[in-house]
Homo-oligomer: A and B are copies of this chain.
Amino acid sequence: MTAIADKMLRIGEVAELTGTTPRTIRYYEEIGLLPGAEDRVQGKHRCYSLQDIERIKEIVRLRDLLGLSLDQLRALLEAEAARAELRREYQDADDPETRKRILNQSLGHIGTQLELVQGRLLELQQLEQELVDKRRSVRGKLRELEQ
């Protein structure tokens, strides 16, 4: 039942759900950003799981919000995959020193991403403030005229 509900989405639906296009999704597969099922017969339809959708959404979000190149994005996502791998190792590790080391690496990766995001946030907030100031000034002049 749960397995049947998987791998049933077609590229057009996926494009719609992720705010992309079929061409973009094929391109991401081409350059290795998306896995691209090995067992697909040449010429046959691609199909996608809900996890695939999540990954594409993640790519789109990082691409648009952080303005990274797809090469940088790939590096970042590989680091993320490495973390997932570490988490699996972590489950198996009994040695508390090993577990600490893994957790500290995770902290590093998260910190890197946070710095990128917070840098952008500061710039955007500055831009917002300037626009709000402008608006306040214009509204002030309007009020002067109205009374």
Contact = CB atoms under 8 A, between A and B. Distances in A.
A55 interface: no
25 contacts: A61-B127, A65-B123, A96-B145, A99-B141, A99-B145, A100-B142, A100-B146, A103-B142, A103-B145, A106-B138, A107-B135, A107-B138, A107-B139, A107-B142, A110-B134, A111-B135, A113-B131, A114-B128, A114-B131, A114-B135, A117-B124, A117-B127, A121-B124, A121-B125, A121-B128
A104 B142 contact: yes
Interface of A: 61, 64-65, 67, 96, 99-100, 103-104, 106-107, 110-111, 113-114, 117-118, 120-121, 123-125, 127-128, 131-132, 134-135, 138-139, 141-142, 145-146
Contacts of A99: 141, 145
A122 to B, nearest CB: 10
Contacts of A124: 65, 117, 120-121, 124
A134 B117 CA distance: 14
A134 B84 CA distance: 13
A135 B111 CA distance: 8
Contact of A114 (B64, B132, B145): B132
